[in-house]
Structure 1
Amino acid sequence: MNNSSLLLLSFSVGILVVIQGGINARLGILLNNTLLATTAALVMSASFTLIAVFMTVRELPSIDQIQSIPTYMWFTGGALSFLAVTLFYYIIPRIGISTAVIFGLSGQIIFAAIASHFGWFGMPMEPMTIKKVMGMIVMTLGVILIKY
């Protein structure tokens, strides 16, 4: 997949996050419980993921591969997903989907720039540049203009 396609796909993912956040936050309101909405969303997500795995995975990892993965990696991603999704569904009805997404996206962009600068999580390093810092400052000003 070429870079333009990946950028368009990333943009589309942003749209999907807003749609699912709105739907599942509303589900939490209707169920009168954010955790029930999170449970429904994550159970359905796991179900769709299993279907995709059964349809596409041709070879499972070896026992050696599985054993070589640090234990924390098996749990941390799921715990962070649970926390992020639950908080998103809790926050949206209280401050609105636009505000929740704008501030959440700002946090993602700023933290991603820091994490990529240092190569955290085993990801490729992308140095922090003046251009990136200026972009984050402009983004922050944009968030302030949108919100206030």
Structure 2
Amino acid sequence: MLYLYGLTIAAGLANAIQPGQNATLAKSLTLPITAGLITLLVSTTVLLVGGLATGKLEVPTVQQVAAVPWWAWLGGFLSALVILAQLFASPAIGAASFLGIIVTVGVLASIVLDHYGWVGFQEHPASAWRILGAVLMIGGVALVALF
């Protein structure tokens, strides 16, 4: 279980670094959408190679595909949205503001998702402490963005 925290920390670092990399790729090529496609191609290749190397890559059955809720298929759309924000918004507003907004909005949305048990999450009530934490994050992001 401890390795999952390490993986999450690595993802947090990647989340801070990746917008600059993707925006630089877009600027260097002068083709932002092409840069986004290249980013997704590299991601797909890494997942493909990793899945093959670990023996964890399998083709789902028709029954497995049919059992997936309609909204679960939209994750790729949301990934593309994140990449587009990295390409266009992060260079304009800066790394700290960009990541602060992404993380804070993510926490706010997560509190709602947890509270109602939406999109596959277990219900976890939106306590006053969780809401206070989110409010404090909004204040923190405002300070980072303003100064």
Q: TM-score range by the shorter chain?
A: 0.7 to 0.9
1:81 aligns with 2:106: no
Cα gap change, 1:28/1:142 in structure 2, threshold over 3 Å: closer, same or farther?
same
Match of 1:108 in 2: 106
Structure 2 residue identity aligned to 1:133: I
How far residue 124 of structure 1 moved from its aligned partner, in angstroms, is 1.2
Q: TM-score, normalised by structure 1?
A: 0.87
Q: Tell me whether 138-147 or 33-42 shows the greater mean CA deviation.
A: 138-147
Q: In structure 2, the residue corresponding to 1:61 is in which secondary structure? A: coil
| SS of match in other structure, 2:123 | coil
- 1:9-20 equivalences under 5 Å are 9-20=7-18
Q: Deviations over 1:31-87 (max 9, x none)?
A: 11221111110001011111122222275433322232245533x111111112112
Matched, 1:26 2:24: yes
Q: What is aligned with 1:67?
A: 66
Distance of aligned partners of 1:58 and 1:49 in 2 relative to their CA distance in 1, 3 Å threshold = closer
Question: Which has the higher mean CA deviation after the structures are superposed, 5-14 or 129-138?
Answer: 5-14
Distance 1:83 1:58, change over 3 A: closer
Give the conservation status (yes or no) of the 8 Å contact 2:72–2:119.
no
Equivalent residue letter for 1:88: Q
Q: If the length of structure 2 is used for normalisation, what is the TM-score?
A: 0.88
> Paired residue for 1:142?
140
Structure-2 residue corresponding to 1:124: 122
The equivalences for 1:45-64 within 5 A come to 45-55=43-53, 56-57=55-56, 60-64=59-63
C-alpha separation between the residues in 2 aligned to 1:29 and 1:67?
Answer: 41
RMSD: 1.8
Q: Which runs of 5+ in 1 are unaligned?
A: none
- Give distance in 2, aligned partners of 1:48 and 1:58: 12
Per the alignment, in what secondary structure is the counterpart of residue 89 of structure 2? Answer: helix
Distance in 1 separating the partners of 2:57 and 2:85: 35
Offset from partner CA, 1:88-143 (integer Å, 9 cap, x none): 22111111111111111111111111111111101111110000011111111111
Cα offset, 1:10, TM superposition: 1.8
